[in-house]
Structure formats: structure tokens, C-alpha cells
Amino acid sequence: MRGFVVSELKHHSQIPLSTDVPEPKAGPGQVLVDVYSAGLNFFDTLQTQGKYQHKPPLPFVLGTEFAGRISKDSPIPKGCPYKPGDRVFGASQGTYADKVAADVERILPLPDTMSYDQGAGLFITWPTSYEALVGRAELKPGEWVLVTAAAGGVGIAAVQLAKVLGAKVIAAAGSNAKIDIAKRYGGADYGVNYSNPGWQKEVLKLTGGKGVDVIYDPVGLINDSLKCIAWKGRALIIGFAAGTIEKVPMNLVLLKNVSLVGLHWGAYSTELLLIKVSPSLFASGKAVPVTYNQIFSLEKLSDGLAAIERRETWGKAIARVRDESNAKL
């Protein structure tokens, strides 16, 4: 089968797609899934170089998020609610391939209303934003939220969730085009371009001089954003997509009486979070997974990861492994 195999740690652009990869074998409590779409993540670019916190032993197949169907030759563990042909989405190491072995507890049924492309970006992106805003920041209706990289995968999910929770949302991005994406697809109330000097003044003006109650930052802009945080505000540290881990002047934290709140999504039961957030939210149409308008083939996977590195993408970038029209067993 095809697979993006990392045999030695190097940049993804130096790793070719393999066409003779052995098919995975399902272990205890696992099923085999035919991958139709796989979600691209920034951490994939780090994992190929050994710079990500999760370091699978070499060689390994890259990729974590997927949507597909239970394979016709998959074993079905005792108590497993799925059967061959069922549409599912989930997470497992090795999704940039034709087939992946996945723990039953790490997959969920793909709603009939969703495409494989939409489902491929659900398992990590949405629970991350949900737990950050609900579990960690304890966001309340009427509060102000600033979302950096608001047009990105987790960013646009955070914008939608914050709106559903009754917040007033300011989308921050590095271009006016991405601000427009966050407004059009995410429903953000306002937008600020953080490539403009002094952008924090615009945030303060929008909030009547108060500042934002919650900062949601997957980029590494905490220091800049603290200039427009409210008294007793909460700054959510989601990631460091800009490539630099910040050193925050702790005197600012003290003087502004604010909280720095971390989120390590891997420490949570993603399945339980999704059960909380997804059925009513997606069924109601209040939130819709947003996918980037260029879909990458498995052969062009490195192009997609490079586009993420260059911050060209918005929404969730997707690699289409199989065409949905061939979805019959």
C-alpha cells in the first residue's frame, strides 16, 4: 500500500511517498480502517524531524487524524460497535496511508451529513478548542475573546465555539484575507490584523478600553496579546505555530492580575470531549467544519505541509487518500 514513511528524521520535503508499505495489522482492541481523508497538522512538520513531543520509534507512518470506513478484512473486537463498511473518524498514528490500525476507543461514527474531508479534521481540532474555552478558560456568555490565527484549523473552530457559547469574538490574523475567512466561515464579530504595528490598540478600542477576557493563542503571541488583556483575563496557551516558545515577563502577569492557562490535549479523553461537543453542535448547524479550498493528494502531501508552514492555509488542510465516489466495499 501507499504510505508516507519516516525512516530517518528529516524535513518532510526530503521524504518520498512509499508505494510498497506493508499493510498494518490490528492489535488487541483495534480495527483496520480504509483511509479516505486525513487531516494535516502543523505538528506533523515537527514529528518528521523528531521535534514533536510524541516520538514514535523509527520507521513510522506519519499522520494522526483520519476519516474512512472499517475495512472489509478488519477483525472486530468483542464489544466493538462497528462493522465492516461503517463510516468513522478518529485518530491513530499512521493516517497518511491507504489503511491504518486504530484503537476502537479512538474512533467515532462519522455523521451522515459530513463528508470524509470534513470528518478528517474533527478528532483533534474541535476537542482542543472546546476544552480550552469551556474546561480551561471557563468562558462565560458576553465575555470578549481574542483568537489568534483565527482562520487556521483550531482557530476557526475556536471562533465558532466561542460564538455558540455567547462570547463576543475578535479574530486576529496576519492578513485581511484571513480575517475575512474567520468572519465569513467562523462568524467572528470583529477582526484585527496583527501584522500592523500597534494592533492591540484596535482591540482595546473595540472592547471600550477594557481588553479581552480570554486570549486563545495557538501561534506564540502571548506577549503581544497581553497588551490588550482585561483585568483578571485568561490567556490560553494552545501551541507555538510561529516556531518560538515564548518567555513571558512574569511581572506583566502579576500587574495585570491575569492567568496563563496551558492546554495539553493529549492528556484528555478526546472521545469523551467529542461526545460532549459534537452531536448537538454539528446537527444543529451552529458549527460546521471548515476545510481549506485546496485538497491535497497523498502524492502531494508534502506540498500541503509546506503550505501550513508558510501559513497559506485556512480552516483544516486535508489530504484525500481515496475518492469518496469509490466508497463502496
The C-alpha R_g of the chain, in whole angstroms, comes to: 20
133-148: per-residue pLDDT in tens?
998 999 999 999 999 9
pLDDT (0 to 100) of residue 275: 54
What is the distance between the alpha carbons of residues 95 and 106, in angstroms, rounded to a whole number? 13
191-230: per-residue pLDDT in tens?
999 999 999 999 999 999 999 999 999 999 999 999 999 9
Any idea what DSSP says for residue 123? T
Mean of per-residue pLDDT scores for the chain: 92
The β-bridge relationship of strands 190-193 and 168-173 is parallel
Helix (H) or strand (E) holding 215: strand 212-217
The β-bridge relationship of strands 65-70 and 87-91 is antiparallel
- Confidence tier at 271 by pLDDT (50, 70, 90): low
Contact by Cβ (8 Å): 152, 221: no
Residues 6 or more apart in contact with residue 86 via CB below 8 angstroms: 69, 70, 109
- What is the per-residue burial (b if ≥16 Cβ within 10 Å, else e) of 297-307? ebebbbebbeb
- 3-state SS, residue 314: coil
- 3-state SS, residue 9: coil
Q: Lowest-pLDDT range, 3-12, 115-124, 218-227, 236-245?
A: 236-245
Mean pLDDT value of segment 182-196 = 96
Residue with cell 496583527: 194
What is the distance between the alpha carbons of residues 10 and 62, in angstroms, rounded to a whole number? 12
pLDDT (0 to 100) of residue 130: 87
Q: Lowest-pLDDT range, 56-65, 228-237, 256-265, 318-327?
A: 318-327
pTM: 0.84
What is the distance between the alpha carbons of residues 290 and 261, in angstroms, rounded to a whole number? 26
What is the distance between the alpha carbons of residues 70 and 33, in angstroms, rounded to a whole number? 4
Give the three cell numbers for residue 293: 479550498
95-111: per-residue pLDDT in tens?
999 999 999 989 989 88
- Confidence tier at 270 by pLDDT (50, 70, 90): low
